[in-house]
Amino acid sequence: MAEITTSATASGAKPSVRAALLAALVISAVTLGIATFELSMADWPSGFVLLVLVPLAALTFIGCGLWSMTLLLQIRPHGVKFAAPVLVYALTLATLIYAPLQEIALQRNFAWHRASRERIVARVEAGELKPNVNYNENLIALGDGEANVSAGGNDIVVDRMEKGSYVLFLTSRGLKHTFSGFLHVPAGADPKDFFEFDDKPPSRLVRYDKDWYFVAN
């Protein structure tokens, strides 16, 4: 009798979509996080992590998204709730395609660190901060005493001119001297006159505010 009751209970149990929905939410959140902060993770050594992390996340997202489509077969017998995982993946994909995630991250980065960066610029202009790295006469290692305002070890790049100093706060730093970051220029100066662009103009140049630009080489 007990066996019959157990069998009947098991056969009457309805399939659950909770695990699939939870997996969809976690995978989508991780994918969106990587897409948003990929630029800031591109500096050495985390750039090597991206070489593994991005393809792995992409394959996981695609694979689980395709698998979730099989749950659509459960809608008719068990309800529309089985469409939820597919909907999560579809909304995430639309966000990846149409939302300017990296631009939003850059805007937040600029706003969050602006006060600290402007204070550091003032110290550079006053001569309190000077290049202190032996192998590079344009590099200032801020060290642990300052807020973390520059990628790649919290170093900033300075270029002293007659009209003032160019100060670059890095957001990414690649292996082959590729970089991107927020460049503070002297009042009225041209960001293209920054010494890093002597041989080649910036591949990206976006004005963020007065005397502030986002640049990439």
Q: What is the DSSP string of 122-168?
A: HHHHTTSS---BTTBTTEEE--TTS---SHHHHEEEEEEETTEEEEE
Return the closest-CA partner of residue 206 out of 170, 176, 186, 181: 181
Is the pLDDT at 202 greater than 50, yes or no? yes
Residue 13 and residue 161: Cα distance in Å, rounded?
76
Last residue within a domain, chosen from 39, 74, 99: 99
pLDDT score at 199: 84
Last residue within a domain, chosen from 77, 99, 121: 99
pTM over 0.85: no
Under the banding of pLDDT at 50, 70 and 90, the label for residue 146 is confident
Return the closest-CA partner of residue 44 out of 149, 153, 182: 153
Per residue in 162-181, pLDDT (tens digit) is 888 999 999 887 766 788 89
Same domain for 50 and 93, yes or no, is yes
Q: Which residue has the tokens 């990206």?
A: 204
Span 11-32, average pLDDT:
84
Under the banding of pLDDT at 50, 70 and 90, the label for residue 12 is low
Is the pLDDT at 91 greater than 70, yes or no? yes
Is 7 domain-assigned?
no
Is 6 domain-assigned?
no
Burial class (CB in 10 A: 0-12, 13-18, 19+), 5: exposed
Same domain for 118 and 192, yes or no, is yes
Same domain for 153 and 131, yes or no, is yes
Parent domain of 84: 12-99
Tokens of 85: 């995982």
pLDDT score at 46: 57
Same domain for 26 and 90, yes or no, is yes
Q: Is-contact 180 215, C-beta < 8 A?
A: yes
Residue 125 — left, alpha, or beta (φ > 0 → left; ψ -120 to 50 → alpha)?
A: alpha
| Domain count across the chain | 2
Same domain for 112 and 71, yes or no, is no
Is the pLDDT at 14 greater than 90, yes or no? no
Last residue within a domain, chosen from 81, 99, 117: 99
Span 191-208, average pLDDT:
90
pLDDT score at 88: 93
